[in-house]
Amino acid sequence: MSRKEFLEKTGSAAAAVMLSPVISEAGNFPQGKIKVGVIGCGSVSTQYLPHLSKSPYVELVSACDIRYERAKEKAAKYNIPHHYPHIDQMLAGAPFDLMVTLTDMQEHGRLNKQALMAGRHVWSEKPMANTYREGKELLDLAKKKGLRIWGAPAVVNSPQFSFMSKMIQEGRLGKVSGAHAHYGHLGPDWSAFFYEKGGGSMPDLGVYNIATLTGLLGPAKAVVAMTSIVTKERNIVGKGTIKVEAEDNAMILMDHGMGTLSHVQCGFNYFDPYGHEGEGQDKPTISIWGTEGNLQLIGYDWAPFGVDFATRDNEKTRRLATDTGTYVWQEGASVIAESLVKKAEPLIRAEHALHVLEIMEAARESGQTGKRIDLVSTFRWPVIAA
């Protein structure tokens, strides 16, 4: 089946995509805790594990990495009783309920499928699969088995996202016409997968902006994009020089319907004094424009700390929504664990992550063919109502 045929077939079921099993069917956790196994003990695990280890809803059971010394080291540091060098051993080892996938992006689909097949819920770093088709199959598999799968990012959880969504839904911006988002830095140097096939600046960086803009403006109907490789070779720690195969520069236009258009730019060739961590970023990275007002998200959308707001009847820009609450970008797996224990549906939706995945795939296709690509996936929207 071609991608087009597959999308047409599954697109007709797009509305049904929203009918995830209710969370009450996802298991009982009488101890009030979820047993968690973490796979991938590299860079991002140093952000996840402190958060997970502090969650009252999480019992860290296992750590796994094909670089076994990393699994052992993280297990010792975070008091995780079991560690493994391979997913097969982790799944056959000490029982756990939720697998948290923090490996190379290209491994996510395969590993997430294995976990679902073994009866585990999944929280996956982005993307939750390599293609929309693979991701859709994972979601279908989860539903069939009465399990849940979710994918990063967690941007819809920030108070700033919530504020912007409410302003838009209340009509304070009038008719929303255009939006822009950007995120970039000079690119990671600790692993080659970011630059290999299936990697790139879209699934690593643009994914946040695409999730935010679709979350605020609604599912996209179509995509037009250009992508390029600016830096042909990269130096990777411990590996030396590698050839860059995935885009490291992307411009993505989205049509959200009803006349609303938006734009995302991302790349691994952006000098930014705020660097990879974004510490201290105080400029807008997301702008939303309407006939009656505009909103500017201050800081990166994964770590925002305010929203500048101006309206026709209050032209002086005000900085609002400056309270960041408990939100941090690395909270996704902990929030999901809490949702499973409390049987409360989280704001993060697998269907939204799948839609973002379809957009990135369509952007690659548009970049190669020069064509506008129609999308079939959708998700429950608005994420946060007025």
Ligand X SMILES: NC(=O)c1ccc[n+]([C@@H]2O[C@H](COP(=O)([O-])OP(=O)(O)OC[C@H]3O[C@@H](n4cnc5c(N)ncnc54)[C@H](O)[C@@H]3O)[C@@H](O)[C@H]2O)c1
Distance between CA 218 and CA 208 in Å, rounded? 15
Closest contact distance (angstroms) between CB of 200 and ligand X is 10
Please give the residue whose beta carbon sits closest to ligand X in the complex.
42
Interface residue with ligand X among 162, 169, 177, 191 (CB under 6 A) is: 191
Interface residue with ligand X among 73, 107, 196, 245 (CB under 6 A) is: 107
Interface residue with ligand X among 20, 55, 103, 131 (CB under 6 A) is: 103
Closest contact distance (angstroms) between CB of 27 and ligand X is 24
Interface residue with ligand X among 125, 248, 331, 358 (CB under 6 A) is: 125
Dihedral Cα 279, 76, 150, 355, nearest 10 deg: 50
Question: Cβ distance 151 to 208 under 8 Å?
Answer: no
Distance between CA 262 and CA 162 in Å, rounded? 19
Question: Cβ distance 74 to 371 under 8 Å?
Answer: no
Distance between CA 256 and CA 168 in Å, rounded? 14
Distance between CA 101 and CA 54 in Å, rounded? 18
User: By CB under 6 A, is residue 105 in contact with ligand X?
Assistant: yes
What are 7's two structure tokens?
């999308």
Stretch that binds ligand X, among 8-16, 36-44, 253-261, 331-339 (CB under 6 A): 36-44
Question: Cβ distance 145 to 170 under 8 Å?
Answer: no
Among residues 260, 269, 158, 279, the alpha carbon closest in space to that of 208 is found at 158
Question: Cβ distance 108 to 127 under 8 Å?
Answer: yes
User: By CB under 6 A, is residue 114 in contact with ligand X?
Assistant: no
Interface residue with ligand X among 18, 95, 119, 190 (CB under 6 A) is: 190
What are 352's two structure tokens?
């939204």
Closest contact distance (angstroms) between CB of 266 and ligand X is 12
User: By CB under 6 A, is residue 65 in contact with ligand X?
Assistant: yes
Report the residue number, 125 or 134, with the smaller CB distance to ligand X. 125
Binding mask 126-145 for ligand X (x = CB under 6 A): x-------------------
User: By CB under 6 A, is residue 40 in contact with ligand X?
Assistant: yes
Quick one: DSSP state of residue 299?
A: B
Interface residue with ligand X among 11, 21, 42, 382 (CB under 6 A) is: 42
User: By CB under 6 A, is residue 331 in contact with ligand X?
Assistant: no
Helix (H/G/I), strand (E/B), else coil: 278: coil
Chain residues that interact with ligand X, rule: CB under 6 A: 39-44, 64-67, 70, 87, 102-105, 107, 111, 125-126, 190-191, 204
